[in-house]
Amino acid sequence: MRFIIPSSKNKRYLSGCDWVISALDFMMKETTSAGNMSQVVIVMASAISPSELQKHLGRFISEFPVVNGSIGRDINICPYWKMPGKTEGKLNFTSHTCPDEGDLWAVLSTCANEPFKDDREHLAFHHVNTKSQKSCLAMSFDHRLLDARGAESFLGLFQQYLESNSGPAVSSGVALSGPAHLSEWMKKFLAGRNVNRKIIALSEHPLAALPVPDGKKKEFGYRLIRFDQQETQTIYENAYRTAGYLMESPYLLSVIMQAVDGLFEKRKAEQGSYLAAVSVDMRTSEDIKQELFFNHVSYLFFQAHRGIVNNRKELVHSIKMQMYDQIKSGVPRDIMEASHLTRIAPLSFFKKIIDGPLKGKIATFIFSHVSKNPLAPELMGAKIEDVFHMPRVPVPPGLGFFSNNFNGRLNLVISYLEGLMGDDEVDVLEKELTDRMLGRDK
């Protein structure tokens, strides 16, 4: 008989995926300037009042005490998210004015690297007005609290709150409980065996990865590549011809692998295979309303030997076959089940897992693509022009690519640990990505 321990009102048991994210947060706090966090940025066509924005955000956040939670461990050894009865502390809100629009990216980058004040703070809001009367709202979020689509949906819920004039509780219908997953142990151990075999198979070939620079408290650099609607259409047409219908993610991943290969070639790095760790979110819009907080993504791994990387058709075919094989053999399910076993260990233990067969290398780079956006066209009367993400990716590898689609336009953000690449290398990487996306590399 299956036995599930229910969560109490102020306690939400953490899943295996949540615990892995928490372990990455622990590792990043040990090696970089802040934890496993990200930032979603909304760019608006006109200025908005910072005081009004702060007031509305404060009232909205007060509906969700979960945002002030912290990690505890139950008597049954299962870790959980402890939620206070009401929100605590002052809203972390800053306002900036950029006299020169060229300074905007530097301000946003600084905000993305700003650590939270303590272990009960998991959200920070940054408002920026520019001289050209444009404005931005940047929400920094702790990945232990929200994943990427959850963060976008949280801001979408804020828009609904504004439209309702602070009407019915927006928190109604948002699930804040979860099972302890303390049953079906044989299933979890078998899944762990399968995951271990997968890791060993991936480690059979030397893994190409940029050396992580020495020193702690390093920040992340970012580079945003924006494509207009016509360019985006060209990219999707290229993806359709090369990879097939609704296969833009394998196509984008192949382009990134080729661009990264160009970087390794210029460095004359040792031969090895490339390994991309890809997060996949299959939830519908309704699912996300139920699963707004915490982590609900799946993971796939794609390996490519340098011998096939320069052949786009062969590379895309390999990526698609690996995707089909992993889904068919249940790799995402096995990772989810096996990750429940890691919760018995302290957060520091996860590094020992990484230092095993993969010898301290998780992947060559991280990739994530968000194709759907839940936001309404306006925020506080200002038209939304663009939305993009600025993630602090796990270290190692310290290199990540995050793409999203907003209003028919594709954005691609390069995220990299300070010292991992020089500015000239990031310039080359940006040009390689742009040219290959648009088919100019032929």
Say how far apart CA 59 and CA 37 lie, in whole Å.
23
Helices (H), 32-140: 50-61, 104-112
Q: What is the pLDDT of residues 310-334, one digit of tens each?
A: 899 999 999 999 999 999 999 999 9
**Residue 405 is assigned to a structural domain of this protein:** yes
- Which pTM does this prediction carry? 0.93
Q: Where are the beta strands (DSSP E) in 90-147?
A: 93-98, 123-130, 135-142
359 and 233 co-located in one domain: yes
80 and 45 co-located in one domain: yes
Higher pLDDT, 388 or 246: 388
The pLDDT, as a whole number, for residue 52 is 95
- Contact partners, residue 125, CB within 8 Å, separation at least 6: 53, 54, 57, 91, 92, 93, 94, 137, 138, 139, 140
The pLDDT, as a whole number, for residue 6 is 45
**Residue 82 is assigned to a structural domain of this protein:** yes
Q: What is the pLDDT of residues 67-100, one digit of tens each?
A: 999 999 888 788 999 998 888 778 999 999 987 7
Task: Check whether 105 has a pLDDT greater than 80.
Answer: yes
189 and 306 co-located in one domain: yes
pLDDT band (50, 70, 90) for residue 442: low
51 and 189 co-located in one domain: no
Task: Check whether 343 has a pLDDT greater than 60.
Answer: yes
318 and 409 co-located in one domain: yes
Say how far apart CA 392 and CA 32 lie, in whole Å.
10
Say how far apart CA 440 and CA 232 lie, in whole Å.
14
Which domain-ending residue is among 130, 163, 196? 163
**Residue 341 is assigned to a structural domain of this protein:** yes
Which domain-ending residue is among 163, 197, 227? 163
Calculate mean pLDDT across residues 340-364: 78
**What is the identity of the amino acid at 127?**
H
The pLDDT, as a whole number, for residue 1 is 34
Task: Check whether 2 has a pLDDT greater than 50.
Answer: no
**Residue 330 is assigned to a structural domain of this protein:** yes
123 and 254 co-located in one domain: no
Task: Check whether 64 has a pLDDT greater than 80.
Answer: yes
Task: Check whether 357 has a pLDDT greater than 70.
Answer: no
Q: What is the pLDDT of residues 170-209, one digit of tens each?
A: 777 777 777 778 788 899 899 989 988 888 888 888 889 9
Classified as helix, coil or strand, 240 is helix
Say how far apart CA 413 and CA 137 lie, in whole Å.
17
Give the side-chain half-sphere CA count within 13 A for 305.
Answer: 6
207 and 355 co-located in one domain: yes
pLDDT band (50, 70, 90) for residue 166: low
201 and 109 co-located in one domain: no
Q: What is the pLDDT of residues 248-294, one digit of tens each?
A: 999 999 999 999 999 999 888 777 899 999 998 877 777 787 789 99
303 and 334 co-located in one domain: yes
- Give how many domains the chain has, as a whole number: 2
Say how far apart CA 159 and CA 152 lie, in whole Å.
11
The pLDDT, as a whole number, for residue 262 is 92
Task: Check whether 5 has a pLDDT greater than 70.
Answer: no
CB 374 within 8 A of CB 405: no
**Residue 260 is assigned to a structural domain of this protein:** yes
pLDDT band (50, 70, 90) for residue 214: confident
**Residue 172 is assigned to a structural domain of this protein:** no
CB 266 within 8 A of CB 428: yes
The pLDDT, as a whole number, for residue 170 is 75
325 is in which domain, residue-wise?
Answer: 185-373+394-437
Which CATH number fits the domain that encloses residue 73?
A: 3.30.559.10
- Highest-confidence segment of 41-45, 283-287, 342-346, 374-378: 41-45
Summarize the chain as % helix, strand, coil (round to 5): 40, 25, 35
339 and 191 co-located in one domain: yes
CA nearest neighbour of 81 among 62, 68, 63: 68
Q: What percent of the chain has pLDDT over 90?
A: 64
Average pLDDT along the chain: 89
Give the side-chain half-sphere CA count within 13 A for 361.
Answer: 23
- Contact partners, residue 203, CB within 8 Å, separation at least 6: 357, 358, 359
**Residue 170 is assigned to a structural domain of this protein:** no
215 and 330 co-located in one domain: yes
**Residue 300 is assigned to a structural domain of this protein:** yes
Which domain-ending residue is among 132, 163, 194? 163
State which H helix or E strand residue 189 sits in: helix 185-202
226 and 366 co-located in one domain: yes
Count of beta carbons in the 10 Å neighbourhood of residue 231: 15
Strand order in the sheet with 399-406: 220-226, 409-417, 399-406, 365-370, 273-280, 298-305
Give the side-chain half-sphere CA count within 13 A for 338.
Answer: 19
Which CATH number fits the domain that encloses residue 414?
A: 3.30.559.30
The pLDDT, as a whole number, for residue 404 is 95
